[in-house]
Every structure is written in C-alpha cells, then in structure tokens.
Copies of this chain bind each other. A is one copy, B any other.
C-alpha cells in the first residue's frame, strides 16, 4: 500500500482538527482510498497543546528546515495563518520537493502567483481548498467541475462570524455590540474582531474566488470593502418588514463594463437561497453561462469542517502527487485589459429622519429626481416615537455615485438627515 507522510505547520484550531481527522481515520483511508497517511512531523511551539492532542514527542519539531529535509514527509500542511513566517515556510517546503496544502487565505490571496510558480518549478502539488469557505467544496468545484462555464456572477456569505452576528441581531433584536460580545465569549469572534467585522477576511476570500471565476488576478486592493459595525437593529427590522434579510455579502461580477468586486452589508430578498443561510453557515452562489445557478452551502469555518477540506486535498495529493488542480490563470497582476468597475450599480435602502412639516417630502423626492434616482418604495413610519418620523426609501437600480450625491444634498438641507444607506440585491 502507498505510504504518504504529512507534516503539519501549526496546531491551532484548524491544525488540531486536521491532526485529529488524519489520525482517527487512518484505517478508514487505508481501506477506502488505498493509501496509508501518517503524520510524520508537527511544527508547534506549544508542546503542551501538541501532547494533549496525542502527538508523539518524537514527531514534534521546532524548525521548518528539519521538515524540509525529512524524507518521510511528502506533503506539508500550512495552517499557521498570516503572511510571515507562513510564506517563507511554504516556499521552503515547495523548494525542497514537498507538496503543500494550505488554509491560509491571506497568504494565498497576496502571494498565490509566487507560490504557484514555485510549485510548478518543483513539480509538486499546491492545494488551497481550505482557504475559502471551510468545508464547502467551492474551489475544486469551480476548477474541476464548472470550469466549462463563463461566470457572470459570484455572491457569497463567506464569513461565519459576521453571519452569526447578523442572524442573532435579526432573530432577537439585540444590538451589534451585545451580540459581538456574546460571539466573543462563545469563541465565534476573535478578541480583535476587525478582520471579520470590517470585511477583510471576506475580501481575501473574494479575491481568491473571483480570480478563479473570472480568469484574471483580482487583487484584494481592488475590492470595495465595508463592514457591519455600523449596522443598527432598526434597519434589520425595517428590512424584514420589506421582505429582506441583511447579510454581509461578497459580490463578484464580470460583465461588459468590467469586473466588479465588493464586500458590504446588503439586503437580499427573503426568497433568495442566500437569505436562508443563517448562523455560522456559509454559502457561495455562482452563475455560469451553462450551469445557470449553483449554490454550495455548509460550514465556513471550524476545526473539523476546515480540516475536512485540508484532508480532502491531502488525499487527492497523495493519489495524484504530480499535479495540482486543473489550470487557472494565476498571474501576479490583473491582465492588462481588465477593467475594474468602481461606480457600480445597485438598488438602495435609505433611512432618513425628517422634520414632519409641509414641503420636506417633496424636497427629498426632488433631490432624488435631480440625481436620476428612481424611487421604488416610500414608507413613512409615523408609529415610531419622537419628533422625526423615519422615512424609508427603496430605489430602483442606480449608480452608487448618484446615491452619494443625493445623500450629501439631502443632509445639506438641514430639514432631513440620512441615517442609513444599505444596498439591496434583488
């Protein structure tokens, strides 16, 4: 039987899950996949953690060079996260003839070109299914199943922490701040939640996914990014009444005017499959010219689901040692002829507080008209207490810049104030 040795760099949440899966399923993989996969080496400073997981002391190592020169190691799993030292370690592993499986979205997003070039030069495999959307098989599906399609759109709920927070805000009416604190206590959000709640994590993943979908590098610096920290419950509630669910969406589009990539909170119709993706579940909704709509749904994070993606790559790599996924264009920069759309179009939900006197409404509608914004729905909530009755406006499709100008004009009147602007996906 074929024997394959694995080294794991980092025994954090995902590294621990991977170790557990590999050791507990060893006989299962021998029986069903015909390959004997053993963990030959573990790079982890926290010896206590390693021993608790059952790692034999002789397998613990403190130096990536040892792993690179270990002939028992065929595949190196990088689950350290962040750019350095992960990047140097991965390059060293590839250059010493080891295949690499990584879950590192920031590294892959920023250095995929260098990593792939190095893997090709050394004729070894490089796999990164676990870098995006945990256990959901989205990367190989795009590369090895749906690759006959020209994709026009990719929409995803690809960050578990924010989806958990928005679901709780929607279910129970608790504020962003209190739900975040609860999520931190439960371990669903990190002590410094910036990367999740400000959309950086989703932007890294969107960069990777849209680069694959659109056959050109989509640098994360091209992604418009807006987090969920300013979301108020009142808007979640009004959205529900209007038939929308609020989600942090990662959106990639490829059309005649170019590629458009953005991460921001958005209202989505409650009948849309993405609207029913709740709690820490994730999903990616793809539209291709042949397959039409496909949605892949599951756990976007966690030790075992992300470990599942890593182990899937390990087994594939063990059985096909000389190649990676099917080809995709992994250039350093976007192709010269690629245009990125900045002034994108959307429908918009706008909440205003306005003086309840004659002429104010007509002034507001006139301002929308001036900026060529056509209003689809207009709701005045007179039931709410206080002097200024909230006004909700939902627009037809319009340019983002026009909305910004209209908002500035309305605020300048002194008669009304725009309290929230949320994009709407219909």
Measured CB to CB, the residues of A under 8 A from B are 17, 21, 25, 28-29, 31-34, 129, 135-137, 140-141, 144-150, 215, 273, 276, 288-299, 302, 304-305, 307-309, 311-312, 314-316, 319-320, 323, 326-329
- In the complex formed, the residue of B with least CB distance to A137 is B145
Chain B residues within 8 Å of A276, by CB: 273, 276
Q: Decide yes or no: A150 and B215 within 8 Å by CB, A135-B290, A297-B297, A299-B293 being known contacts.
A: no
Is there an interface contact between B298 and A293, defined as CB atoms closer than 8 Å?
A: yes
- In the complex formed, the residue of B with least CB distance to A272 is B276
Chain B proximity of A132: nearest CB distance (Å): 12
Shortest beta-carbon contacts, A-B, top 9:
A148-B311, A137-B145, A135-B291, A294-B298, A290-B308, A291-B308, A295-B297, A137-B141, A145-B312
Identical chains in the assembly:
2
Chain B proximity of A22: nearest CB distance (Å): 8
Chain B proximity of A188: nearest CB distance (Å): 15
Chain B residues within 8 Å of A149, by CB: 308
Is there an interface contact between B135 and A309, defined as CB atoms closer than 8 Å?
A: no
Selected from B34, B137, B298, B314, the residue in CB contact (under 8 A) with A137 is B137
13 contacts between A and B (CB under 8 A): A32-B327, A135-B294, A137-B137, A140-B144, A140-B145, A145-B309, A147-B315, A290-B305, A291-B298, A291-B304, A294-B297, A315-B326, A320-B323
Chain B residues within 8 Å of A302, by CB: 292
A55 CA to B298 CA, complexed, in Å: 42
- In the complex formed, the residue of B with least CB distance to A276 is B276
- In the complex formed, the residue of B with least CB distance to A310 is B148
Chain B residues within 8 Å of A298, by CB: 291-295
Chain B residues within 8 Å of A21, by CB: 148, 290
Chain B residues within 8 Å of A326, by CB: 33, 315-316, 319-320
A21 CA to B148 CA, complexed, in Å: 8
Chain B proximity of A148: nearest CB distance (Å): 3
Chain B proximity of A210: nearest CB distance (Å): 14
A329 CA to B31 CA, complexed, in Å: 9
Is there an interface contact between A32 and B144, defined as CB atoms closer than 8 Å?
A: no
- Known pairs A148-B315, A291-B305, A296-B296 / 4 extra A-B pairs, C-beta < 8 Å: A140-B140, A273-B297, A291-B308, A294-B296
- In the complex formed, the residue of B with least CB distance to A278 is B271
A144 CA to B317 CA, complexed, in Å: 10
Chain B proximity of A311: nearest CB distance (Å): 3
A311 CA to B206 CA, complexed, in Å: 25
Chain B proximity of A383: nearest CB distance (Å): 30
Chain B residues within 8 Å of A323, by CB: 320
- In the complex formed, the residue of B with least CB distance to A307 is B290
Chain B residues within 8 Å of A31, by CB: 215
Q: Decide yes or no: A292 and B135 within 8 Å by CB, A32-B329, A315-B326, A327-B34 being known contacts.
A: yes
Is there an interface contact between A312 and B148, defined as CB atoms closer than 8 Å?
A: yes
Selected from B136, B144, B290, B327, the residue in CB contact (under 8 A) with A304 is B290
Chain B residues within 8 Å of A28, by CB: 150
Chain B residues within 8 Å of A136, by CB: 294
- In the complex formed, the residue of B with least CB distance to A302 is B292
Chain B residues within 8 Å of A294, by CB: 135-137, 296-299
Chain B residues within 8 Å of A312, by CB: 144-148
Chain B residues within 8 Å of A25, by CB: 148, 150
- In the complex formed, the residue of B with least CB distance to A294 is B298
Chain B proximity of A141: nearest CB distance (Å): 4
Chain B proximity of A411: nearest CB distance (Å): 40
Is there an interface contact between B144 and A144, defined as CB atoms closer than 8 Å?
A: yes
Chain B residues within 8 Å of A147, by CB: 33, 312, 315-316
Chain B residues within 8 Å of A289, by CB: 304
Chain B residues within 8 Å of A308, by CB: 146, 148-149, 288, 290-291
A326 CA to B316 CA, complexed, in Å: 7
Chain B proximity of A186: nearest CB distance (Å): 17
A327 CA to B29 CA, complexed, in Å: 11
A141 CA to B142 CA, complexed, in Å: 11
